[in-house]
A = this chain, B = another copy of it.
């Protein structure tokens, strides 16, 4: 695998979504999570997404967007709204969502 290229061109915006899962419904959660990545990728202004979930059920997903308007439109997307409701009703114990303006970016790539 590779990380997506970071050269989106600052300034752009990041949504940092940090979540602690319940133990409930792992299959339904995985299906929803994959669908949301697919759906987000089709939204206007979407730039990319990175996601990791480690032990102790803590996960971090960062999605990147061209504008705050694009983030608002994604927040209000109908199928995404249903997923958000599912998150609050069964999948998440806690979450934090932070909308950020990316001011500077650097990258490192190991040589061959």
Contact call A105/B94, Cβ cutoff below 8 A = no
Contact call A53/B54, Cβ cutoff below 8 A = yes
Given contacts A52-B53, A100-B103, contact A94 B3 (CB under 8 A): yes
- Closest-by-CB residue of B relative to A50 is B18
Tell me if A's interface is mostly helix, strand, loop or mixed.
strand
Asked if A20 is an interface residue, CB under 8 A from chain B, the answer is yes
Q: Given the complex, which residues of B lie within 8 Å of A52, measured CB to CB?
A: 52-54, 58-60
Residue interface bits A76-106, CB-to-B below 8 A is 1, else 0: 0000000000011000111111111111111
Residue in A60, A92, A100, A103 with the greatest tally of chain B CB atoms within 10 Å: A100
Task: Report the bound CA distance from A101 to B99 in whole Å.
Answer: 9
Contact call B58/A18, Cβ cutoff below 8 A = no
Contact call B100/A102, Cβ cutoff below 8 A = yes
**Cβ of A75 to closest chain B Cβ, rounded Å:** 10
Task: Report the bound CA distance from A60 to B110 in whole Å.
Answer: 18
